[in-house]
Structure 1
Amino acid sequence: MTARGDGPRDGGKALVKALLDAEGRTYAEEAGIRLRDTPQPLYELLVLAVLLSAPIRGSAAVGAARELFDAGMRDPRRMAGATWQERVDALGRGGYRRYDESTATRLGDGARLVQRDYGGDLRRMRDEAGGDAQALAKSLQKVPGLGPTGAAIFLREVQRVWPGVGPYFGDKALDGARRLGLPDDPDELLRLAGKAEPAVLSAALVRASLDKRTADDL
């Protein structure tokens, strides 16, 4: 399916280049996560996905993630070992105030689940799902605070180190493509993006979906 108003191919490439120049960074990068296929950064990404799932500004979610990590809550053992109040305080320092108490509870419960079911290593979840994105989405939604939106956030970002789940865009990124008048077919978007990574392109499209000013500027 292609969005109405889709322009010439060269115009589409120019638009995607402008989008990537303006918004070409992942949310993990913004939160200071050095994403690798190892347990700690994968867990940090899971925390970020939980925070971004709430109806709250993305900048507050990113700021809260940074505060949690700066306070040492970078792996499920330390997250579960922190007090509820320590989690609340870190979320508050990041500007995550409206949902700080409920999210602090979910983060503690989720950390214990990751420890219990996966030994603190989300690669075990990936392996149990056979690397299949749909199966992974179902497993991710067992984590407190992660629904379909949060699972999509995690999968969009993690494809950078788990390429087998990609190319993955999700509904929000494709909404951004339609808002910009670009094709909403993942293969066509990747063709227009040239060598850009799917994770970077999808994050940029999500920002275009969420911020009307970004789309209007482009």
Structure 2
Amino acid sequence: MTTKTDRTSGGKATAARDEAVVRALLDRQQRTYTAQAGIRLRNTPAPLYQTLVLAILLSARIRADIAVAAARALFDAGLRDPRSMANASWQERVDALGEGGYRRYDERTSTMLGKGAELLLERYDGDLRRLREEPDPKKALMDVPGIGPTGADIFLRDVQGVWPEFAPYIDRKALDGARRLGLPASPQKLSGLVAGREMPRLADGLVHAALDKPLADEVLAAAKAA
């Protein structure tokens, strides 16, 4: 017969195991994709826009490291805000994307980045904090060329640290990673395993685990050994 003590002990063991898995994951996920792209995310116009650009690049069927490198190349070329992106020529954007290795989708993406920057200037004066005030910010995000459901998820997954009304934001890909690691498939339960400021890093780490089985196996082995 299972006793109340047995159930309590089992619950504590599960919680300890989940915490060990999260610690092992975060040890291996020191920086989010946003940080890797050189973005110091704050609730100010430029870094919010740069995060949106990265979300557009990550949405394509291309390796994440190439998307990150392309974002860095765009920013290094001075295209860090909607005004500079809109003022750049189509070829300048193509060249920057190519510099980052983003060649398969460079021409189409250059067009989307130009049109998206123009939309943001017209609708929000280039300030994505105004988008936050929309009745449905996620839906409004998807008006931006290149941002579909996946891109909106990527953006909100990162900005939940500065837009706390969206936290905990764990999208479907991150939940896939949670399941692979045997963690709760619930944003609320996952949020209880980390401090609030760590949610973007946890969400990104879970996405890595979903995409990289060897990483997930390494995390599980480290947690078991802890």
* TM-score, L = length of structure 2: 0.88
- Is 2:60 the partner of 1:59? no
Superimposed CA distance per residue, residues 101-153 of structure 1 (whole angstroms, 9 cap, x where no aligned partner)? 10011000000000011100001110123xxxxx2111110000000000000
Q: Is the 8 A contact 1:67 1:91 kept in 2?
A: yes
Residue identity opposite 2:212 in structure 1:
D
- Is 2:86 the partner of 1:85? no
User: 1:212: Cα distance to partner?
Assistant: 1.6
Q: 1:124 aligns with which of 130, 148, 153?
A: 130
Quote the Cα distance in structure 2 between the aligned partners of 1:174 and 1:60.
23
Quote the Cα distance in structure 1 between the aligned partners of 2:18 and 2:43.
33
Residue identity opposite 1:59 in structure 2:
D
Quote the Cα distance in structure 2 between the aligned partners of 1:167 and 1:187.
7
* 1:184 alignment partner in structure 2: 185
Residue identity opposite 1:114 in structure 2:
L
What are the residue-to-residue correspondences of 1:32-51 with 2, within 5 Å? 32-51=38-57
Q: Tell me the matched-pair count.
A: 207
- Is 2:217 the partner of 1:216? yes
Residue identity opposite 1:163 in structure 2:
P
- Is 2:117 the partner of 1:111? yes
Greater mean alpha carbon deviation, residues 206-215 or residues 113-122:
206-215
Q: Is the 8 A contact 1:140 1:146 kept in 2?
A: yes
* 1:20 alignment partner in structure 2: 26
Flag the structure with larger Rg.
2
CA 1:106–1:206: 2 relative to 1, 3 Å:
same
- Is 2:212 the partner of 1:206? no
Greater mean alpha carbon deviation, residues 52-61 or residues 184-193:
184-193
Q: Which runs of 4+ in 1 moved over 6 A?
A: none
Question: Which consecutive residues of structure 2, in runs of 5 or more, have no partner in the other structure?
Answer: 1-12, 220-226
CA-based RMSD: 1.2
Greater mean alpha carbon deviation, residues 20-29 or residues 106-115:
20-29
Question: Which consecutive residues of structure 1, in runs of 5 or more, have no partner in the other structure?
Answer: 1-6, 130-134
Residue identity opposite 2:20 in structure 1:
A
* TM-score, L = length of structure 1: 0.92
User: 1:196: Cα distance to partner?
Assistant: 5.6
